Chains A and B, each alone.
Chain A
Amino acid sequence: SQKIEQNSEALNIQEGKTATLTCNYTNYSPAYLQWYRQDPGRGPVFLLLIRENEKEKRKERLKVTFDTTLKQSLFHITASQPADSATYLCALDHGQNFVFGPGTRLSVLP
């Protein structure tokens, strides 16, 4: 069956450290993968997109990798700050639609 999993429901890290979130998928063949941020009571907000032929993408303190052999994406936030605390969702394109992972709730502790 088709599945998207994110490594943990919740992740706590200390301010200044690098947060690493994992997204694994099964039985999908995405052309690209995306990461979104969702704050409580708000809709998800697009952060980064990485295509199947790209190994790595960066945007400021964010870095995403995409390994189509392992069927995995890693999402890194370097020099994390309390303001980075949120739920992070990965998403795959699937035909005309998008399929989302369950999300990881990140807490950056001061």
Chain B
Amino acid sequence: DAGITQSPRHKVTETGTPVTLRCHQTENHRYMYWYRQDPGHGLRLIHYSYGVKDTDKGEVSDGYSVSRSKTEDFLLTLESATSSQTSVYFCAISQGSRSSGNTIYFGEGSWLTVV
């Protein structure tokens, strides 16, 4: 257990509304990630962070923004939700080193439905 908590776990929202998903970790990991998982596409990286205020885009970042003002919290915001953003969102942290190999630990997921 890497001490990762996601909230909310389930949310239904309307098209055009902003939505923020929160990821909280308790073990001071430097790297944090947001993935989305969809049938036929698998897990795709949205954004990641390598420290407070240090973030970068992943493969599918359009329509999403992130913030990391504290080590323990990584927020994912859908600026104006669209139906194509209906998905399961997973937060993750990485642990290890380049020499030993990094492994990823995932949260339990946030199910988002945009209607």
Least Cβ–Cβ distance between A38 and chain B, in angstroms: 9
B105 within 8 A of A: yes
Nearest-neighbour CB distance to chain A for B95, whole angstroms, equals 9
For this complex, 6 residue pairs linking A to B, each with C-beta atoms less than 8 Å apart, are: A34-B104, A42-B108, A44-B104, A96-B56, A100-B43, A103-B42
Instruction: Kindly provide the distance from the CB of B41 to the nearest chain A CB, expressed in whole angstroms.
Output: 7
Interface residues of B (CB under 8 A from A): 31, 33, 35, 40-45, 48, 50, 56, 58, 90, 92, 94, 98, 101-109
A-B pair number, CB within 8 angstroms: 55
> Which stretch of A13-21, A45-53, A68-76, A77-85 is in the interface?
A45-53
Tell me the nearest residue of chain B to A103, going by C-beta. Answer: B42
Chain A residues positioned under 8 Å from B101 (CB to CB): 31-32, 34, 49, 51, 93
Question: Are A102's CB and B106's CB within 8 A?
Answer: no
In the complex, whether A110 has a CB less than 8 A from a CB of chain B is no
Residues of A within 8 A of B33 (CB): 97-98
Instruction: Please state if B42 and A43 are interface contacts (CB–CB under 8 Å).
Output: no
User: Is A64 positioned at the interface, with any CB of B under 8 Å from its CB?
Assistant: no
Q: Is A91 at the interface (CB under 8 A from chain B)?
A: yes
Nearest CB of chain B from residue A97's CB, rounded to whole Å: 6
A108 within 8 Å of B by Cβ? no
Asked whether, in the complex, the Cβ of A97 is within 8 Å of the Cβ of B98, the reply is no
Q: Which residues of A contact B103 (CB under 8 A)?
A: 34, 46, 49
